[in-house]
Structure 1
């Protein structure tokens, strides 16, 4: 079992999908499939053939390429059991209890609802990587479309509990916009200020801001920092429960 090769692939306006390739076996997978054309081009360029598709949630900007890729490559499609009716192409349904792997690499399924009710995160413990879809973003988190703030905070807390060096790949390039908002919530955070400068440099050069890490997000992402006394004080919620502080931060971001 070789080390996974990882390709971060921009799709559509600001989406990412990730291609995983295990060189010893030749097995290849994608995490979400916004665009069949983009995935097929990237695979053709490398001489890889797609075997598996892993889906985080049902939104069309994450599933739009599934049917074409499934038909073209005969790939299996794994996704959340709770969203099976909304992702009819699924061939394997998973929950947090599922035993899952890719090319011999174990995968833990974290149920991370909030953005959608069945959203899942795929965590590869032996590789130290997690694919968070639209639950956790770099310096942000997903909008709460189907769940509620307490549910979303619980989901983010599951991701935050992973080892600090876990690399995080999310579904969108939203970091610069998120960074500017984060500075309004915790402007005195030196780690955040340093990171914002790095993000600005990366984006000015047209480079992605991913992957991030769990530790970096815990130090700089306001959505993972509702326990911060400075954040609580700034938004007038000193001593409030963490999920309520999180809810207020999400509300402020929605209005930003």
Structure 2
């Protein structure tokens, strides 16, 4: 029997690429979107789900289980970017980012665990970010929300291991998707003391996304994880230097690593 896969944020970007690839590999895939009617031509069914609204999470999972009788793999992919000087980002925007990137995945996990316990099996893959391993200038809130999900996964996977439920993180680097257009950008203000460095850093970040790798690489990595009997705690997918930056953070003195980042962003 084909494994049943649910992908949050499965209508575009990495989520769509993963869904298309897994469908070709014979999986029964369901994606999610806040507006599924806009994606009627998708290669796999799209169900309504907004990770910031728990009632839609419950309803989407119920829909999949009623149709298939099971739920084998959940990929927490839905997420939003946010940029800006932390001093100038409105508090509500910070909270909104955590609602999507942190609390949303936790609520999805809570909602699927009863079914996976009933099956005595399941795999939950949380899509985080290489940015979650370090505090990046003008991306500090995004780094914090993804880093928080990385740490929660470490704890969560130990708590559910006894039920034969596996959980892992996959941290992508820069991929050529529409994430830059969908994220919250604090405006570059004329009178701001951050105008120059933030403006130039924003252009650099957007150029990294535009030159990013093909999301198909993420799809293949996730397919490999699904076929792994005992997944690792953390996976990283991206350019060599992006992955190597995590190694450098572990081995270099804090101030040396900070200087490398500041040089990279020309700060």
Query: Structure 1 length normalisation: TM-score?
Result: 0.38
Higher fraction of strand: 1
Query: Structure 2 length normalisation: TM-score?
Result: 0.37
Q: Which has the higher contact order (CA 8 A, sep 6+)?
A: 2
